[in-house]
């Protein structure tokens, strides 16, 4: 058996595992790995400007391609800078491998230069992590790490490799398939559960599908199966923020997103349903609103690959532990085998159509300011017929994008849902563009969020990635300001974006094209120019400074207590509601 250095073993494993791109940043503790990657014929290394950027790029790459994202960073500050992205990937179930350098094994624990307890720090924000203390273990650990990151409920796995382990050599043999002793996610649902579910769906008079990111993680087949099952049953569909695109927004069965900034029809349908079929979602507090008023008269089926998601927040009548795609396929087969026909749900649909008529996503027309919702609607219109991937930062613009940009396919919508990480969207767009060179990748950003990883302008320039950065610039941390209006009588404590840079000049300084859109009249042409301009383009789109995102379910309120417009905002809130997240 050939002896290879730890660094060479790592790189060989990455090749064997089909890795094409690594997002990383060098440093002392990973120099042997960087040397092994030097001029590598198949693995492309993307040099980021900050390790957090690398993690979000890997997430964007993973979410848009379905392949795991790979990150390589040095010890100490390299690893700690990666922590936010690792946590983000854990919350949103993104398959990611983070390779961190570590000080030599003999120095561990001695407060050596750039030493951090990386496995300790990442233990509870990763799906799993390893400290590899001998080169002979590396190949197995790397293959196992990819297995764990990509199967079951996907997530980030950290591999911490001391520098001496990268340099020392060991015999290398390509590991076979991983048969893990204790990690064995249940993929296939028990037949009895499927039969029970079919029975409940066939009997329901007011059913609704409530789907989430799990359907997207389960691959395009799962989205296809969801469409088929909805067609067979005739039931309406709503989804979480993370699940957008699994079901086509252009379908007449689509209700829009549910939850805090969900549509009137989605939230009322949930509230009045007699059966909620939850697929790959987890009853997040942003979705449920006040728990004791959440879908109060419904039976609930919950399909999830993670057993700990079941009965965590909401007690369900029928838990099904399975991969969403596998369970949906089984449900379709069982439905057909039982000879069920789509029910007559016309009464239910009539009710839903009445809710739809409220037109809860309506927004005021532009005056001399561009309405941010209008800017997104315009962007949506201008990108029809193109293969477009949208990423977002976090804030009002994110919610407006979820409401006004409509997705017909999975893997086209990348946003930080669980952790709500400002600074996610722009690097995620770069990662998505790496994985989808021919797609039109647009990051819809806010003026505050975009500054959290703005340094990655340089990364896009360096790799000639034609990402479009569309900033809805309202000169505020709009979402914070909105909550201050709702809760703290509009005392805008530190939510004004003072001293903003000249974004256009900043873009130009990095070799980008910069466009400023200030007047409603220039919106259409500005967006057209952004799309038509080759290479990376930043748009500083000045929008109405004080608009707020509606509908909104305030903290502690139920799905039926949506605020539809600013006139319903009282400006104060009870302490109980203030204390809710």
Partner 1 sequence: MHIAEEQNERHVLSITVTNEAGILARVAGMFTARGYNIDSLTVADISPDHQLSRITIVTNGAPHMIDQIIAQLDRLVPVHKVTDLTDNGPFVERELALVKVNGIGEARIEALRIADIFRAKVVDTTTESFIFELTGPTDKINTFITLMRELGLVEIGRTGIVGMVRGKG
Which positions are annotated as active-site residues?
Answer: 51, 113-114, 163, 479
Task: Give min distance, CB of 524 to ligand TPP, in A.
Answer: 21
- Residue 135 in contact with ligand TPP, rule: CB under 6 A: no
Write the DSSP symbol of residue 494.
Answer: T
- Residue 470 in contact with ligand TPP, rule: CB under 6 A: no
Nearest to 540 by CA among 509, 501, 511, 510: 501
In 471-535, alpha helices (H):
478-487, 503-509, 520-532
The entry of ligand TPP, partner 1, none that residue 559 binds, CB within 5 to 8 Å by partner kind:
none
Task: Give min distance, CB of 102 to partner 1, in A.
Answer: 13
Nearer to ligand TPP by C-beta: 148 or 370? 370
Task: Give min distance, CB of 278 to partner 1, in A.
Answer: 16
- Residue 449 in contact with ligand TPP, rule: CB under 6 A: yes
- Residue 479 in contact with ligand TPP, rule: CB under 6 A: yes
- Residue 8 in contact with ligand TPP, rule: CB under 6 A: no
Task: Give min distance, CB of 119 to partner 1, in A.
Answer: 6
Nearer to ligand TPP by C-beta: 213 or 446? 446
Task: Give min distance, CB of 454 to ligand TPP, in A.
Answer: 11
Nearer to ligand TPP by C-beta: 90 or 279? 90
User: Site residues for ligand TPP, window 346-405 (CB under 6 A)?
Assistant: 393-397
Nearer to partner 1 by C-beta: 179 or 365? 179
Q: Look at the block and give the residue holding tokens 């104060």.
A: 572
CB 55 within 8 A of CB 94: no
The entry of partner 1, ligand TPP, none that residue 71 binds, CB within 5 to 8 Å by partner kind:
none
The entry of partner 1, ligand TPP, none that residue 395 binds, CB within 5 to 8 Å by partner kind:
ligand TPP
The entry of ligand TPP, partner 1, none that residue 119 binds, CB within 5 to 8 Å by partner kind:
partner 1
- Residue 478 in contact with ligand TPP, rule: CB under 6 A: yes
Distance of CA 268 to CAs 354, 395, 422, 569, Å?
A: 10, 24, 30, 20
DSSP symbols for 323-346: -HHHHHHHHHHHHHHTT------H
Dihedral pair phi/psi, residue 500, rounded to 5°? -65, 150
Cis peptide leading into residue 13 (ω within 30°): no
CB 390 within 8 A of CB 413: yes
Task: Give min distance, CB of 464 to ligand TPP, in A.
Answer: 27
The entry of ligand TPP, partner 1, none that residue 312 binds, CB within 5 to 8 Å by partner kind:
partner 1
Nearer to partner 1 by C-beta: 106 or 311? 311
Nearer to ligand TPP by C-beta: 418 or 478? 478
Residue 184 burial class via C-beta count within 10 angstroms: exposed 0-12, middle 13-18, buried 19 and up: exposed
User: Site residues for ligand TPP, window 417-446 (CB under 6 A)?
Assistant: 420-423, 446
Go through 429-465 and write b for each residue having 16 or more CB atoms within 10 A of its CB, e for each that does not: bbbbbbbbeebbbbbbbbbbbbbbbbbbbbbbbeeeb
Point out which span in 19-27, 316-324, 402-410, 470-478 binds ligand TPP (CB under 6 A): 470-478
- Out of 7, 281, 448, 507, point to the residue binding ligand TPP (CB under 6 A): 448
CB 298 within 8 A of CB 274: yes
What is the C-alpha to C-alpha distance for residues 501 and 479, in angstroms, rounded to an integer? 20
Point out which span in 141-149, 191-199, 435-443, 475-483 binds ligand TPP (CB under 6 A): 475-483
Task: Give min distance, CB of 376 to ligand TPP, in A.
Answer: 11
CB 329 within 8 A of CB 197: no
What residues line the site for partner 1 (CB under 8 A)?
119-120, 123-124, 127-128, 131, 148, 180-183, 306-308, 310-312, 315, 575-576, 579
Nearer to ligand TPP by C-beta: 98 or 541? 541
Go through 208-233 and write b for each residue having 16 or more CB atoms within 10 A of its CB, e for each that does not: bbbbbbbbbbbbeebbebbbbbbebb
Nearer to ligand TPP by C-beta: 395 or 466? 395
Task: Give min distance, CB of 91 to ligand TPP, in A.
Answer: 12
The entry of partner 1, ligand TPP, none that residue 88 binds, CB within 5 to 8 Å by partner kind:
none
Task: Give min distance, CB of 106 to partner 1, in A.
Answer: 16
What is the C-alpha to C-alpha distance for residues 430 and 58, in angstroms, rounded to an integer? 9
Beta strand 96-102 with 537-542 is unpaired
By rule CB under 6 A, what count of residues binds ligand TPP? 20
The entry of partner 1, ligand TPP, none that residue 474 binds, CB within 5 to 8 Å by partner kind:
ligand TPP
User: 3-class secondary structure for 42-59?
Assistant: CCEEEECCCHHHHHHHHH
Write the DSSP symbol of residue 159.
Answer: E
Nearest to 505 by CA among 547, 554, 454: 454
Dihedral pair phi/psi, residue 287, rounded to 5°? -95, -40
Helix, strand or coil, per DSSP, at residue 78: helix
Q: Which residues bind ligand TPP (CB under 6 A)?
A: 393-397, 420-423, 446-449, 472, 474, 476-480
């Amino acid at each position: 058996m050939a002896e290879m250095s730890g660094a060479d073993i790592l790189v060989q494993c990455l090749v064997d595992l089909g890795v094409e791109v690594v997002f990383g940043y060098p440093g002392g503790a990973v120099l042997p790995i960087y040397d092994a990657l030097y001029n590598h014929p198949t693995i492309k290394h993307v040099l980021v400007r900050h390790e957090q950027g690398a993690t979000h790029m890997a997430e964007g790459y993973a979410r848009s391609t379905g392949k795991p994202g790979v990150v390589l960073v040095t010890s100490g500050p390299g690893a700690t800078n990666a922590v936010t992205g690792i946590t983000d990937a854990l919350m949103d179930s993104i398959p990611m491998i983070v390779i961190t350098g570590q000080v030599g094994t003999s120095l561990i624990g001695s407060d050596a230069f750039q030493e951090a307890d990386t496995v300790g720090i990442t233990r509870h924000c990763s799906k799993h992590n390893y400290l590899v203390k001998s080169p002979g273990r590396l190949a197995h650990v790397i293959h196992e790490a990819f297995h764990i990151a990509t199967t079951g409920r996907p997530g980030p796995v950290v591999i911490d490799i001391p520098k001496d382990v990268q340099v020392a050599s060991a015999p290398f043999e390509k590991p076979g398939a991983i048969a893990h002793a204790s990690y064995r996610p249940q993929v296939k649902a028990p037949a009895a559960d499927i039969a029970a579910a079919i029975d409940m769906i066939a009997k329901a008079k007011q059913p609704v599908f409530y789907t989430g990111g799990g359907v997207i993680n389960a691959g395009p087949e799962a989205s296809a199966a969801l469409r088929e099952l909805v067609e067979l049953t005739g039931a309406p569909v709503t989804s979480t923020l993370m699940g957008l695109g699994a079901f086509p927004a252009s379908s007449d069965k689509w209700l829009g997103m549910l939850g805090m900034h969900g549509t009137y029809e989605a939230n009322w349908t949930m509230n009045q349903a007699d059966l909620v079929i939850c697929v790959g979602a987890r009853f997040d507090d942003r979705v449920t609103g006040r728990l004791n008023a959440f879908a109060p008269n419904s039976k609930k089926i919950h399909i999830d690959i993670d057993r700990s998601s079941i009965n965590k927040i909401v007690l369900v009548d029928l838990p099904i532990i399975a991969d969403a795609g596998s369970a949906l396929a089984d449900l379709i087969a069982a439905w057909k085998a039982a000879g069920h026909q789509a029910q007559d749900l016309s009464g239910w649909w009539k009710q839903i159509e009445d809710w739809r008529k409220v037109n809860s996503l309506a927004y005021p027309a532009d005056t001399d300011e561009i309405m941010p919702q209008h800017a997104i609607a315009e962007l949506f219109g201008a990108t029809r017929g193109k293969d477009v991937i949208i990423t977002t930062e976090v804030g009002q613009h994110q919610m407006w994008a979820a409401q006004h940009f409509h997705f017909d396919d999975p893997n086209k919508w990348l946003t930080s849902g669980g952790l709500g990480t400002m600074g996610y969207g722009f690097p995620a767009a770069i990662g998505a563009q790496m994985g989808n060179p021919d797609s039109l990748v647009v990051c819809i950003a806010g003026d505050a969020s975009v500054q959290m990883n703005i340094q990655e302008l340089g990364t896009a320039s360096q790799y000639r990635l034609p990402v479009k950065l569309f900033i809805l610039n309202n000169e505020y941390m709009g979402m914070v300001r909105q909550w201050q209006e709702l809760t703290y009588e509009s005392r805008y404590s530190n939510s004004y974006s003072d001293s903003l840079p000249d974004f256009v000049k900043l873009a130009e300084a990095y070799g980008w094209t910069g466009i400023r859109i200030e007047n409603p009249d220039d919106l259409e042409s500005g967006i057209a120019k952004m799309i038509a301009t080759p290479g990376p383009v930043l748009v500083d789109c000045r929008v109405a400074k004080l608009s707020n995102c509606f509908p909104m379910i305030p903290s502690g309120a139920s799905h039926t207590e949506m605020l539809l417009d600013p006139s319903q905002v009282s400006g104060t809130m009870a302490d109980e509601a203030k204390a809710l997240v």
